[in-house]
Structure 1
Amino acid sequence: MSAPARTPTGPGNEGLVRPSRAAAGRLPVEYVLPLRWSADAGLAELTGYLRELTRLVDVTVVDGSAPEAFARHAAAWRGVVRHLAPDPAVRGVNGKVVGVLTGVAAARHEHVVIADDDVRYDEAGLRAAHRLLDDVDLVRPQNYFDPVPWHAWWDTGRSLLNRALGADWPGTLAVRRSTFVAMGGYDPDVLFENLELVRTVRAYGGVDAAPAGLYVRRLPPETGHFLGQRVRQAYDDLAQPARLVTSLAVLPAVVAALAARRPGLLLGAAATVVALAEVGRRRAGGARVFPRTAALAAPLWLLERGVCGWLALGHRVLRGGVPYAGTRVARAANSPRALRTRRTASSTPAH
């Protein structure tokens, strides 16, 4: 069964998204938080955030933490949110996707916001996502870091380049439950789960929107966690051939320029990247949430991705995949063609 196609009639993919002046009261929205924690350092802060959320929406936390941590969370959230364990019938290497599949299946509303544990929506963001889902099947907001330690500044360079060239990949998506159910969810055995969900919605005839002005705050990770993600995030490019080729070309280009003793080429390239990132920073009012110096991080991030891209490719060729949550994942995401083929096969009547 394919999802109904709709044409966006809201603010579209550009401009600063603001809530309707007439909006008031609770929203018919399910907020799904897939979670798996080994430490509870942020439990009090997260509990406060969830308590605030429940003033506006219904919240479901799908908690894949170890039994001791699950029990602590259950005690902290009793009477605050609905707290579930992942459905044991849902299997997959990507625990976040298993949590999402469980949470969306249990959702009490048609409009569902899916968010990582470091995402912090405000009322304006929730109302904007809810309004957009009246016209599209999936909404991809724009995250920004607050506060901005050095590594969040560094990673913001990536976001700005993505914004300049299209749209960024956030830690949150909003989806229509009927569309999600009709397409049978999405593959829990891939690494880049957000790309997989967007591609699956499109393959099943759904419409998605990535409004550049729908800003949702995100807390920065710990420095060690950030450093540990570098190769794994570069592995995502294996599902995007054009990006992979670009990232793999960075290091050879730098080496060639240095070997030819032409530092001016590198300075010119860096200036071009900064200018492109600044376009992304200013797009749709972004200067109000992204630091003034964030565009300077773009060449540094691009150089990092050039190095990590080769390391990620080495993991794929030599080890069959990249380490993730105690296992090894081979596929970053399914190709659009593979998903369309799967849709055709599932809709073909048996003889």
Structure 2
Amino acid sequence: MRVDAEYVLPLRWHDDRDLDELTAYLRDLSRWIDVTVVDGSAPAFFRAHARAWGGHVRHVPPAVEGGANGKVRGVLSGLALARHEIVVLADDDVRHTPDSLTALVTELQDADLVKPQNVFVPCPWHARWDTARSLVNRALGADYPGTYGLRRPALPRGYDPDALFENCEMERTIRAAGGRVRARRDLFVPRRPPSARRFWSQRVRQAYDSHAQPARLIAELAIIPVVWRLRRRRGILAFLALAVIGLGELGRRRAGGGAVYPRSASLWVPVWAIERGLCSWAAVGLRLRGGVPYAGARLRLAATPLRTLRLRMTDDAVRSRGGRNS
């Protein structure tokens, strides 16, 4: 049974080491749902992808110009071409199943944006380290996944292609317009882990995302000063380590997560916290220098505050009414 929706996959590859694996996934995926791959890869890679995927999916270059975030340009290009009102957005490392696609689309019957929960499969050491971040997010609210279910009318004008934290920008844009955003913490979608090299390259960039959440940024910036101040008080440090492990375990067990997350993932939370504390200060340094280097440019904006988006939409609506009345 096919899912009545469009699967939009934006990508921009610099090597094809995973081409065979992704090709096999797209071949299966095309039997379940209509697929559009928006490929911003260099011409030689684009041609190789066209040969590998052309018989199974719609394979196109990005059509949206302007904006430094290539992933957002790919998403907006795919949304413009989608043949269905309901769209599943997914990164190239996400691996949906027929059941997860069906569940995601079903949730969109009374929501505008649905966010499931990614889980790394397999889960080597660096993926467990990164999983600690997801566990903290789950404990405090909800994680930001690499895949969403979306009703296209909820994003009539798209969202800012200059925002680094593109998932947060998309969610806030929909909320600002009055859209309904739903977190399905119990809908687990597999995701292939990055290479260890890519994992290390993402540390500061992920920390920069917290500039979109000032209270969280302040807390993360405080980690290293607090640890340094308490460095000789090992009992207190041990208590703090146990407390953050407990926070991670709360996130691991929430909404059935204990069945899919490895037990050792919570033990990585103190390691992740120290890493985040260090990288947060590095991210502040990058902000002072103009932002995070990204595809030959610098992205200063993490994500637009929700209040700012609402004010912009109100102003746009007023101008629109004024234009009609003139």
Please, what TM-score do these two structures have when normalized by structure 2? Answer: 0.97
CA offset digits 1:4-47 (Å, max 9, x no partner): xxxxxxxxxxxxxxxxxxxxx11111000001001000011001
Structure 1 runs of 4+ off > 4 angstroms? Answer: none
How far is 1:325 from its partner? 1.6
CA offset digits 1:187-241 (Å, max 9, x no partner): 0001000000000000000000011101000000011111011001100000100
How far is 1:90 from its partner? 2.8
Aligned to 1:316: 287
> Does residue 226 of the first structure (1) align with residue 208 of the second (2)?
no
Q: Which amino acid aligns with 2:281?
A: W
Larger helix proportion, structure 1 or 2? 2
Contact in 2 for aligned 1:90/1:101 (Cα 8 Å): no
Q: Which amino acid aligns with 2:22?
A: L
> Does residue 240 of the first structure (1) align with residue 213 of the second (2)?
yes
> Does residue 117 of the first structure (1) align with residue 99 of the second (2)?
no
Unaligned residue ranges in structure 2 (runs of 5+): none
Q: Distance in 1 between matches of 2:96 and 2:255?
A: 19
Q: Higher relative contact order at CA 8 Å, sep ≥6: structure 1 or structure 2? A: 1
How far is 1:276 from its partner? 1.1
Matches within 5 A, 1:79-118: 79-87=55-63, 89-118=64-93
Q: Distance in 1 between matches of 2:219 and 2:116?
A: 25
Q: Distance in 2 between matches of 1:252 and 1:264?
A: 17
* SS of residue paired to 1:333: coil
> Does residue 339 of the first structure (1) align with residue 309 of the second (2)?
yes
Q: Distance in 1 between matches of 2:234 and 2:292?
A: 34
Q: Which amino acid aligns with 2:57?
A: V
Q: What's the C-alpha RMSD, in Å, of the aligned pairs?
A: 0.8
Matches within 5 A, 1:273-284: 273-284=244-255
* SS of residue paired to 2:303: coil
Aligned to 1:216: 189
Q: Distance in 2 between matches of 1:214 and 1:116?
A: 17
Aligned to 1:303: 274
Of 141, 158, 162, the residue aligned with 1:185 is: 158
Contact in 1 for aligned 2:8/2:87 (Cα 8 Å): yes
Contact in 2 for aligned 1:63/1:86 (Cα 8 Å): yes
Q: Distance in 2 between matches of 1:339 and 1:180?
A: 13
Equivalent residue pairs, number:
321
Contact in 2 for aligned 1:33/1:60 (Cα 8 Å): yes
Aligned to 2:38: 62
CA offset digits 1:261-317 (Å, max 9, x no partner): 211111000100111111111111111110011100111101100000000001111
> Does residue 164 of the first structure (1) align with residue 139 of the second (2)?
yes
Unaligned residue ranges in structure 1 (runs of 5+): 1-24
Aligned to 2:151: 176
* SS of residue paired to 1:117: coil
How far is 1:178 from its partner? 1.6
Q: Distance in 2 between matches of 1:305 and 1:149?
A: 20
Q: Distance in 2 between matches of 1:45 and 1:346?
A: 45
Q: Distance in 2 between matches of 1:190 and 1:179?
A: 19
Contact in 2 for aligned 1:90/1:102 (Cα 8 Å): no
> Does residue 146 of the first structure (1) align with residue 148 of the second (2)?
no
Contact in 2 for aligned 1:31/1:59 (Cα 8 Å): yes
How far is 1:172 from its partner? 1.0
Contact in 1 for aligned 2:114/2:183 (Cα 8 Å): yes
Contact in 1 for aligned 2:93/2:193 (Cα 8 Å): yes
CA offset digits 1:102-149 (Å, max 9, x no partner): 001110011101000000011111011100011100011100001111
Aligned to 2:229: 256
* SS of residue paired to 1:247: helix
Aligned to 1:38: 14
How far is 1:79 from its partner? 1.3
Q: Distance in 2 between matches of 1:191 and 1:78?
A: 31
Q: Which amino acid aligns with 2:122?
A: P
Aligned to 2:106: 131
Q: Which amino acid aligns with 2:182?
A: A
Contact in 1 for aligned 2:113/2:149 (Cα 8 Å): yes
Aligned to 1:6: none
Contact in 2 for aligned 1:114/1:173 (Cα 8 Å): yes
Q: Distance in 2 between matches of 1:26 and 1:123?
A: 9
